[in-house]
Structure 1
């Protein structure tokens, strides 16, 4: 992913108003992120713990979505699977996050949900740059490129549902 500016990020959101996008907290450490290893930029809003944001490149342009996370967390003994990168996490490592749909459907309150890594570091888990806490990584027969493509395809399918 190419490094976007804060202004590019704010202009990318498809499921909130321009005013809401202007008020969102955007990470201040954009220059320090490993952009070559990111399929999307994801972060949790420090001022609103139940709100997260995700920005990715799709068809040559940035697409951003605001997500809301479910307040309930699973117990430590339970394991959950991220729908984007298929990484298994213990306890609260995966959260159900919902996003308001775009257009009239979103204004009517319709949303789409996805189970995703709570820290939104899917790209780093896929590449082995980050390892889930206290769990064994499942070995796959797919190559790294195939796992990256699968993650991108899963993200694209989620974004398509938001637009439907």
Structure 2
């Protein structure tokens, strides 16, 4: 991912109101971000409980979405993140929703998906889980590429049928 400035990050959000943009809190280690290592940029808001952010490149431009984590707990014992396809204990995967961009979002339309609670999918796909007997490990590069494509597709679904205001 190409390096982003704080202004790039703030201007990338396609589903945020001016009030939401004003209160976006960047990660405390933002200045130390290793952009070459990231397939997309995602973090939980350090000041606002239940809020997260994902930024991907769409048509060569950074596009970000504001996420809201669902309240409550799942009764499941384990769950799979829909971005990195990593199985996790259920308390490490949460339903995140994003208001759609444009008129649809202004009317309350949103989409949701299950994502790693700490939004560290780009790290999780780089970890090598232990192999089961007779299991063949998939290429890490394929997992990384799949995670990037799914993150871009999620942001693309938020953008569907909306004009992006810059």
For the aligned pair, the TM-score class normalised by the smaller chain equals 0.7 to 0.9
Which residue matches 1:159? 155
Which residue matches 1:87? 86
Contact 2:70 2:95 in 1 (8 A): yes
Where do 1:9-158 residues align within 5 Å? Answer: 9-74=9-74, 78-128=77-127, 141-158=137-154
Kindly report structure 1 stretches of 4+ aligned residues shifted beyond 6 Å: none
> How far, CA to CA, are the matches of 1:137 and 1:3 in structure 2?
35
Which residue matches 1:4? 4
> How far, CA to CA, are the matches of 1:163 and 1:40 in structure 2?
16
Change in Cα spacing, 1:107 to 1:156, as seen in structure 2 (3 Å) is: same
> How far, CA to CA, are the matches of 1:45 and 1:74 in structure 2?
22
Which residue matches 2:163? none
After superposition, the CA RMSD in angstroms is 2.1
Contact 2:38 2:122 in 1 (8 A): yes
Change in Cα spacing, 1:104 to 1:49, as seen in structure 2 (3 Å) is: same
Single out whichever of 44-53 and 14-23 deviates more from structure 2. Answer: 14-23
Structure 1 unaligned blocks of 5 or more: none
- Relative contact order: is structure 1 or structure 2 higher (C-alpha 8 Å, sep ≥ 6)? 2
Structure 2 unaligned blocks of 5 or more: 161-166
Q: Aligned with 1:98: secondary structure?
A: strand
Aligned length: 158
